[in-house]
Structure 1
Amino acid sequence: MLEISELCVDVAGKPVLSDISLTLQPGELHVLLGPNGSGKSSLLAAIMGLPPYRVTGGSIRVDGVPVNDLSLRERAALGIGMAFQRPPSLDGVTVSAFAGAMGAGATLAREAAALDLSAFVARDMNVGFSGGEIKRWEILKLFLQDPRLMLFDEPESGVDLEHVIAIGQAIGRITRTPDGQGRPRAGLVITHTGLILNHVEADRAHILKGGRIIHSGDPRAIFAHIQTHGYTVPETA
Structure 2
Amino acid sequence: MAEQILGIRGLDVAAKGVPILRAVDLEIGAGEVHVLFGPNGSGKSTLLSAIMGLPPYVVSAGEIRLGGERIDGLAIDERARRGIGMAFQRPPAIDGVTVEDFSQTLGSADILHREAASLDLADFAARHINVGFSGGEVKRWEVFKLFLQDPRLLLFDEPESGVDLEHISAVGDAINRLMRTPNRAGEARSALIITHTGFILDYIEADVGHVMIDGHIVRSGEPRALFESIQKHGYKTMQP
Contact 1:214 1:233 in 2 (8 A): no
State the AA in 2 paired with 1:198. D
Structure 2 counterparts to residues 1-237 of structure 1, below 5 A: 1-233=5-237
Which stretches of structure 1, 4 residues or more, deviate above 3 A after TM superposition? 232-235
CA RMSD after TM alignment: 1.1
Structure 2's unaligned 5+ residue stretches are: none
Distance change (3 Å), C-alpha of 1:233 and 1:5? farther
Report % sequence identity.
58
Any gaps of 5 or more consecutive residues in structure 1?
none
Aligned-partner SS, 1:57: strand
Q: TM-score, normalised to structure 1's length?
A: 0.97
**Is the Cα–Cα contact under 8 Å of residues 108 and 144 in structure 1 kept in the other structure?**
yes
Contact 2:44–2:194 under 8 Å retained in 1:
yes
The one-letter code sitting in structure 2 at the alignment partner of 1:64 is G
SS at match of 1:120: coil
- The answer to which of 226-235 and 134-143 deviates more is 226-235
Q: TM-score, structure 2 length as denominator?
A: 0.96
Do the aligned residues in 1 keep the contact of 2:218 with 2:238 (CA within 8 Å)? no
Number of equivalences: 236
What's the CA shift for 1:112? 0.6
What's the CA shift for 1:152? 0.4
Q: Which amino acid aligns with 2:85?
A: G
Which amino acid counterpart does residue 62 of structure 1 have in structure 2?
L
Contact 1:7 1:59 in 2 (8 A): yes
Displacement of 1:234 in angstroms is 5.2
1:6-51, CA deviations, whole angstroms, 9 ceiling, x for partnerless residues? Answer: 1000001100100100000000000000111100000000000001
CA contact (8 A) 1:215 1:233 kept: no
Deviation at residue 190 of structure 1 after TM alignment: 0.4
Alpha-carbon distance in structure 1 between the residues aligned to 2:123 and 2:235: 40
Q: What is the CA deviation profile of residues 164-192 of structure 1, one whole-angstrom value per residue up to 9, with x for unaligned ones?
A: 01101111111222111111110000011
Give SS of 2:123's match: helix
SS of the aligned residue for 2:178 comes to helix
Q: Deviations over 1:133-167 (max 9, x none)?
A: 00000111000000000100110000000000110
**Which letter maps to 1:38?**
S
